[in-house]
A and B are shown apart, each in its own frame.
Chain A
Amino acid sequence: MKDVSVFTPAGRLLSSGLVSAVYRRRRLMDLLMTGLAGLAVLVAVVPLFSILISVAIRGLSALNLDFFTKMPVPIGETGGGVLNAIVGSGILVGLGTLIGLPIGLLSAIYLAEYGRGRLADTIRLFTEVMSGVPSIVVGIFAYAIVVRPLHHFSALAGGVALGILMIPVVTRTAEEMIRMVPQSLREAGLALGLPRWRVTVSIVLPSAASGIVTGAMLAVARIAGETAPLLFTALNNAFFSTSLLRPIASLPVQIYTYATSPYEELHRIAWGAVFVLVMMVLITNLLTRLAVRSGYEMKR
């Protein structure tokens, strides 16, 4: 190959400076940092998969049709299921969502769309504080306002406790999502002569829907696994019950009771219940996401 050395008027080689130690060092640093970031991801993901895998291995072996359709059997007998706890958890989480979601969503709409000045700042501060309150304290609160007046533990009290826990989670994520809707869309609606509420309901909320749903799902996932606030609100129930005014069984409390018992058979069922709980959260999550997405698709 012919050597083409071109010199600049100053006498420097035209191609000088293209290959340098500085560049090599930067490239190495880039590689190192990318590697570190990847490692951090790995560290974060390992516990998650470790949990999922051990739950799947130990939980799946306890599962059979009876597990979902039968009631618990006395100690010493084999078989039986946790039907009462599955139904109970469904009722408690449903009730909690029924209470927490509307209140949380409406607060978020107020904070994001209308709230100005001191009142809004105060509400926002309290929402922050509330999301940091330990769940057992919320349980005590529900005990005071529902269990005490009614003189007995009830599914209603558990639902109230879970609902209160849900409010700040929903409010914070939904407010964030509503704020992310560009101002230009609100202006477009207002410029068409739409009243404020109409713009919020028909333009802003649909635009923020997928984010709001994700936030709501996170909140549902959080309350589905709560144990502490249920201990002195919904308590537990060895029998099948759908009454809101009686104590009710739930998966987390059942898991807690079984796991702390000395019997191997109960430990096995507890693992099964853990698996069911995780799956319930996962499946609701997936279904809602799918529903939101297909809602978009239909309009496309």
Chain B
Amino acid sequence: MSVSGSESALWRGRSVPSFRETAASNTRGVVPTRDEIAVELAVARARTAVVPALTTYDLRAYYGSTEILHGVNLAFPYRQVTAIIGPSGCGKSTLLRCLNRMHELTPGASVKGRVLLGNQDIYAPDVDPVALRRKIGMVFQRPNPFPTMSIFDNVAAALRWHRVVRRHELADRVEQALRMAALWDEVKDRLHENALGLSGGQQQRLCIARALAIEPEILLMDEPASALDPISTGHIEELIVQLRSRYTVLIVTHNMQQAARISDYTAFMLMGELIEFSPTATLFTNPSDSRTEAYVTGRFG
């Protein structure tokens, strides 16, 4: 924890917002070739020693014929927390849902452009979206534990279905996931009670444990604390900061203080476009776009 913390502090001190440049160099809206991507990735690595976990190129999302995202170019750094902020309806959640191919499940919805996980385009025709979603977990706005299952089964379900662990290891893995979600101590004595008996905040941490149990590479969080009270929100925020050492976390939030508290990078979106992407401290204290400044200082939105 302290290592990555000082690392990002160091990073901010250098004031080389190279990810923004990487993304900005691509705003012409042309989909680059594999080689170009490889070169850019190499450049990004060399500059920052931070690797992008997910990169989007000219990502466009549609509901029917309405374009929701107008070509987003963005590189989400590996094992860092990236916050996505912006007013309601700006496409934050849609962007998130494009990254694990959940967007296309809505009837009439479609996606154009490229999203690279490492160096693999997740929208390539031979990519199995089901396999992809194992690598890119998601936590939703409202806690949605499986109502017919116990606390234990909620976490164990995906492990069983994916057959990732042997039966005798199952309990260990469930405990591990619940500990990681900072829920173990609260539920260890009632693992076999129904999950709906938990409070809203606990249910949300259960959902996080459920997502972590199958060890994804990336965790997408769509306003995970917006339906919770301040104390539960505090728990979730602490948790996210800790998750950074093992996961790449992308979090959509309406709460700018929250973004400032927990994220390393922040992306600001407006009406389906990415306006600015910077290290969080830079975005909030020295934004390069006047619209970002207006938003973070509360002058609109």
Contacts and interface: CB of A to CB of B under 8 A. Distances in A.
B107 A116 contact: yes
Interface stretch (A39-47, A86-94, A140-148, A203-211): A203-211
A184 interface: yes
Interface stretch (B30-38, B138-146, B264-272, B280-288): B138-146
Contacts of A193: 130-135, 158, 162, 214
B150 A192 contact: no
A198 B161 contact: yes
A184 B144 contact: yes
B225 interface: no
User: Interface range on chain A: under 10, 10 to 19, 20 to 34, or 35 or more?
Assistant: 20 to 34
Nearest to B138: A191
A185 B210 CA distance: 13
A190 interface: yes
A296 B148 contact: yes
Contact of B134 (A187, A189, A192, A299): A192
B211 interface: yes
Main SS class of interface, A? helix
Contacts of B146: 185, 188-189, 203, 207
A252 to B, nearest CB: 37
Interface in A270-300: 296, 299-300
Contact of A192 (B148, B149, B194, B210): B210
B115 to A, nearest CB: 16
B144 A299 contact: no
Contacts of B192: 299-300
Interface string B253-269: 00000000000000000
Which of the listed residues B140, B161, B207, B214 has the most CB atoms from chain A within 10 Å of its own CB? B161
User: Interface range on chain B: under 10, 10 to 19, 20 to 34, or 35 or more?
Assistant: 20 to 34
Nearest to A194: B161
A300 B191 CA distance: 9
B82 interface: no
A184 B105 CA distance: 12
A207 B148 contact: yes
B223 interface: no
Which of the listed residues A189, A206, A207, A299 has the most CB atoms from chain B within 10 Å of its own CB? A299
A183 to B, nearest CB: 9
Contacts of A207: 146-148
Interface string A194-220: 110010001100110100000000000
A299 B197 CA distance: 12
A249 B77 CA distance: 75
B207 A190 contact: no
A202 B157 contact: yes
Contacts of B158: 192-194
B153 interface: yes
A299 B214 contact: no
A94 B78 CA distance: 59
Given A116-B107, A202-B161, A299-B153, A191 B137 contact: yes
A138 B134 CA distance: 49
Contacts of A184: 140, 142, 144
Contacts of B134: 192-193
B50 interface: no
B170 to A, nearest CB: 15
A42 to B, nearest CB: 36
Interface of B: 100, 102, 105, 107, 130-135, 137-138, 140, 142, 144-150, 153, 157-158, 161-162, 192-194, 197, 207, 210-211, 214
Which 9 A-B residue pairs are closest in the complex by CB-CB distance?
A193-B134, A191-B138, A206-B148, A193-B133, A184-B144, A192-B158, A188-B144, A300-B194, A195-B130
8 contacts: A190-B130, A191-B102, A191-B140, A192-B214, A202-B157, A202-B161, A206-B148, A207-B146
Given A185-B144, A190-B133, A192-B211, 15 more contacts: A184-B140, A185-B146, A187-B138, A187-B140, A191-B100, A191-B138, A192-B133, A192-B161, A193-B130, A193-B131, A193-B135, A194-B158, A195-B130, A206-B149, A300-B192
